[in-house]
């Protein structure tokens, strides 16, 4: 039983990078960049919350306090062990009767794309590498060149994020760098794709149909682990737009059908119907016009869809507007006609409720009422 539990724990453990050797931090120190308010960083499928600080800790890169790469250059390359290996006397040739092992590839420095080597997809685990001999740090031209390589990597991550680029880091795949031009396209479709896809394969196919071929299926598999990730991505995009607007004094034209974007980003709203401008003013002024409306949000213990259908008949006398998603049921109530507490009492008479919230009318509900409720000619100036 204990062995089975240990196996389950091992399978469910999140992949991680090998930690940086302490002597590397002692010798090469830590270099931190300035705070970055733009860009997006994913680590093992999770969106790291901004703002970001990109730093070099010895031979690895960290974003905020999270290690996002393995060793860009192995620490042993900086030590006397590497020098000794390079200048050691060759071993004598094996006896003719003994089979000669196949030659191994040279232990060269990692390039950018192989900073996090991907793990082979084999059933049996590879044999562990032989122990690296210890050695002292050598502060010479070779070490300076190696250190510059790691610093250049950190600088590239920093610069890419400042330009609104994206990175997908993971311990089980190569890092994926998305430059600012491509990141604009990817961030525009990523939230909806994450919400609508049911599997990593479907998400991967969605991206490829849109011409996004640089995200491997391993990254898509990581992204699909968190079903609420699309909301976090959308929130991060809104943060970046607000930052761009405030710090750069940039006007952003956003085409969206998500009224949550309007609430989060816009101060002013224009409503047009069949070419005629119905309203041009701030959002709060429009909401005050519909101030008698409240939204009762409930989470029933029963199936949400079935409960919504029942409530549509049970509450018809109150003339509410009822909608739902996978978790919550929204009941929009006009308190000039019926108090919201009376509606809540009617719901509790026949249904068990896990959670309840009371909200002011949202911009989305205002727009729905304007186009569905015949209020077009009664809007405020």
Residue with token string 């609430």: 263
**Does 89 have pLDDT greater than 70?**
no
How many angstroms separate the CA atoms of 139 and 148, rounded? 13
Is 10 within a domain? no
Quick one: pLDDT at residue 363? 67
**Does 10 have pLDDT greater than 60?**
no
Are both 240 and 290 inside the same structural domain?
no
Whether omega for the bond prior to residue 51 falls within 30 degrees of 0, making it cis, is yes
Residue 347's CATH number: 3.30.2130.10
Give residues with Cβ within 8 angstroms of 100, minimum separation 6.
94
* Domain membership of residue 297 as a residue range: 286-362
Mean pLDDT in residue range 50-65: 95
Confidence (pTM): 0.60
Angle between helices 180-196 and 200-209 (to 10 degrees): 140
Domain boundary, last residue among 248, 264, 297: 248
Is 264 within a domain? no
Q: What proportion of the chain, given as a percentage, has pLDDT over 70? A: 72
Which ranges in the chain belong to alpha helices (H)? 2-12, 22-28, 80-87, 141-162, 180-196, 200-209, 217-223, 229-248, 259-265, 283-289, 304-314, 340-350, 363-372
Domain boundary, last residue among 248, 269, 295: 248
Higher pLDDT, 263 or 344: 344
How many angstroms separate the CA atoms of 61 and 67, rounded? 6
Confidence of residue 380 (pLDDT cuts 50, 70, 90): low
Q: How many domains does the chain have?
A: 2
What are the structure tokens assigned to 113, written together? 């794309």
Mean pLDDT in residue range 332-360: 86
Is 275 within a domain? no
For residues 150 and 56, the answer to whether their CB atoms sit within 8 Å is: yes
Is 151 within a domain? yes
Q: Does residue 119 sit in helix, strand or coil?
A: coil
Confidence of residue 168 (pLDDT cuts 50, 70, 90): very high
Is 357 within a domain? yes
What are the structure tokens assigned to 299, written together? 């989470």
Q: Does residue 121 sit in helix, strand or coil?
A: coil
């Amino acid at each position: 039983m204990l062995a089975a539990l240990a196996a389950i724990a091992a399978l469910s453990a999140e992949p991680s990078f090998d930690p940086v050797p302490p002597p590397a931090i002692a010798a090469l120190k830590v270099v931190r960049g300035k705070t970055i308010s733009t860009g997006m960083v994913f680590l093992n499928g999770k969106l790291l919350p901004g703002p970001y600080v990109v730093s070099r800790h010895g031979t690895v890169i960290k974003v905020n306090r999270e290690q996002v790469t393995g060793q860009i250059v192995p620490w042993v390359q900086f030590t006397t062990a590497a020098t000794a290996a390079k200048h050691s006397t060759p071993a004598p040739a094996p006896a003719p009767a003994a089979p000669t092992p196949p030659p191994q590839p040279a232990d060269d420095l990692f390039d950018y794309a192989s900073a996090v080597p991907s793990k082979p997809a084999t059933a049996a685990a590879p044999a562990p590498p032989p122990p690296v001999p210890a050695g002292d740090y050598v502060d010479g031209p070779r070490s300076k060149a190696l250190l510059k390589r790691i610093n250049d990597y950190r600088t590239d991550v920093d610069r890419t994020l400042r330009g609104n680029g994206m990175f997908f880091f993971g311990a089980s795949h190569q890092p994926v760098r998305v430059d600012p031009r491509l990141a604009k396209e990817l961030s525009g479709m990523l939230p909806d794709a994450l919400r609508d896809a049911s599997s990593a394969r479907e998400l991967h196919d969605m991206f490829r149909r849109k011409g996004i071929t640089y995200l491997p299926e391993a990254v898509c598999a990581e992204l699909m682990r968190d079903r609420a990730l699309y909301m976090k991505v959308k929130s991060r995009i809104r943060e970046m737009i607000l930052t761009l607007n405030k710090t750069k004094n940039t006007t952003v034209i956003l085409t969206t059908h998500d009224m949550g974007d309007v609430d989060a980003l816009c101060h002013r709203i224009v409503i047009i119907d069949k070419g005629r401008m119905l309203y041009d003013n701030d959002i709060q002024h429009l909401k005050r016009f519909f101030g008698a409306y409240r939204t009762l949000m409930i989470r029933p213990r029963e199936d949400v869809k079935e409960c919504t259908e029942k409530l549509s008949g049970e509450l018809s006398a109150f003339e509410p507007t009822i909608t739902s998603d996978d978790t919550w049921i929204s009941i929009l109530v006009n308190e000039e006609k019926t108090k919201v507490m009376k509606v809540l009492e009617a719901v509790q008479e026949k249904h068990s409720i896990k959670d309840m919230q009371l909200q002011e009318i949202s911009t989305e509900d205002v727009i729905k009422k304007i186009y569905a409720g015949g209020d077009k000619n009664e809007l405020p100036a």
